[in-house]
Amino acid sequence: MNIIVIGAGYVGLVTGTCFAELGNHVTCIDVDQQKIANLKKGILPIYEPGLEPMVISNMHEERLRFVTSLEEVSVEPQVIFIAVGTPSDKDGSADMQYVLEAARNIGSYINNYCVIVDKSTVPVGVADHVKHIIQDELKNRDLKIKFDIVSNPEFLREGAAIDDFMRPDRIIVGLSSKKAKQIMLELYTPILRHPEKIYFMNIKDAEMTKYVANAMLATRISFMNEMAVLCERMGVDVENVRIGIGSDSRIGNSFINPGCGYGGSCFPKDVKALIKMAEMHNVNPVVLCAVEERNYQQKLLLPNKITKLFGEDLSDIKIAVWGLSFKPGTDDMREASSLVLLEELLVRNANVQAYDPVAMPVARKLLPADWFNSGKLRLAEHQYDALQDTDALVLVTEWKPFCYPDLLVMKKLMRKPIILDGRNQYDPRQMREAEFEYYGVGRGQAVSKSVAALSL
């Protein structure tokens, strides 16, 4: 098929590249000229394992192209994906300006029947707006061209996006046309090992499915984080509780790992947007608001523990931070717990030495310049370099290189052997045996008695 993908960000780039890998001819469009120029050179705007060689390979095979406008596309597409960003607006609702602009461009471009697919995460009813905008543009051109609108939300996990695309556990497709259904089936057949895993439904149902899925996962995380706080207060080890409830087949083990809060481009934004949708329809989003509030409180957990240990004035304290991205496998720092931690430490004049395997180029661009210029924040070249003469290590992101560190090397480098584990990656008993002072999230009886004083 000839496919156009509007938007060469995370979703658009992964989607377009994977469809090209399946033998389709794909053109990715983005208005960011520098981004497109870099992509043509094989320089990607994001880090995603396995994506760069796939992009380069498909460009070499002439199945994947990058341009800055629809006018540069020379072939008639059968399918056009809208995969632009839908960031949170000031009131928490999803900002639809890029989606609607894409719709206007499509309406001024198409000359034959095609399927227009909303891949972006959009509120319920946006597909109708997209349809009307395209119809209005066609009317202005005095054309009567048939087209179909489809909602096909993405469920790509950063760090595992290629595998998620090529081996999906489900594909959600919202539509109202048999012709569009046939085209979508043809498009996804190469990766459908189990045909029953593609679910067809109404467009609005599909739009809502994406929001509810992300909100449910965020709810599980926030619920377990709240239980972790309670466990710590009551002298209970939340990790044993997690294992216990995870063995229940009705609950399972996914998204019940306690930690220092969720982040990224999806969960925070989609929970906010769902809250706004509920309020617009006179529904009190009690649970969703609690999920958001718990996540906010959880991101303060680590800085609060640090001030309990060292006091409010951290001028003479040096802290090592391992992990800046919101999760392992990505350089995405949007809504990351590390951002809250760094801000809380630096406002108290702490000296911070941070390291992340892939996110440091993003950090240099994203973080305030005065943090670096003041000398209070330094990005270390190696994870152990970040430990030099520090009073504590804070683990924020559970990257694999951090899972089994050399404790002897750490003790020699650190001024004080203190570890604050924001992801419960380490065995408290092993830490005690190595003579480290260890503070996890909700570890209760598993840690030393001094932790009781840090319960929040």
Give the CA-trace dihedral at 399, 400, 404, 408, to 10 degrees.
-60
Question: Using CA atoms, how far apart are residues 359 and 38, in angstroms rounded to an integer?
Answer: 19
Query: Is 231 one of the catalytic residues?
Result: no
Closest CA to 302 of 328, 271, 323: 323
* Number of residues written out for the chain: 456
DSSP string, 344-370: HHHTTT-EEEEE-TTTHHHHHHHS-HH
Question: Using CA atoms, how far apart are residues 224 and 218, in angstroms rounded to an integer?
Answer: 10
In the structure encoding, which two tokens stand for residue 363, read together?
């950090």
Helix boundaries (H) for 79-202 = 97-107, 126-140, 161-166, 178-188
Q: Among residues 18, 266, 289, 403, which one is catalytic?
A: 266
Question: Using CA atoms, how far apart are residues 12 and 29, in angstroms rounded to an integer?
Answer: 9
Closest CA to 197 of 161, 155, 159, 160: 155
Question: Using CA atoms, how far apart are residues 8 and 83, in angstroms rounded to an integer?
Answer: 8
Q: Are 456 and 304 in contact (CB under 8 A)?
A: yes
DSSP string, 201-212: E-HHHHHHHHHH
3-state SS, residue 327: coil
What is the chain's Cα-based Rg?
24
How far CA 335 is from CA of 60, 268, 392, in Å, comes to 36, 7, 24
3-state SS, residue 323: coil
**377, β-bridge pairs:** 352
Q: Which residue, chain included where needed, has tokens 């996914």?
A: 254
Question: Using CA atoms, how far apart are residues 114 and 145, in angstroms rounded to an integer?
Answer: 9
Q: Could you tell me which residues come within 8 angstroms of residue 178 by beta carbon, excluding any fewer than 6 positions away?
A: none
Question: Using CA atoms, how far apart are residues 11 and 45, in angstroms rounded to an integer?
Answer: 12
Beta-sheet strands, E only, within 262-413: 318-322, 351-355, 377-379, 392-395
In the structure encoding, which two tokens stand for residue 156, read together?
């790509």
Burial of 75 by CB count in 10 Å (0-12 exposed, 13-18 middle, 19+ buried)?
exposed
- Where in the sequence numbering do the catalytic residues fall? 266
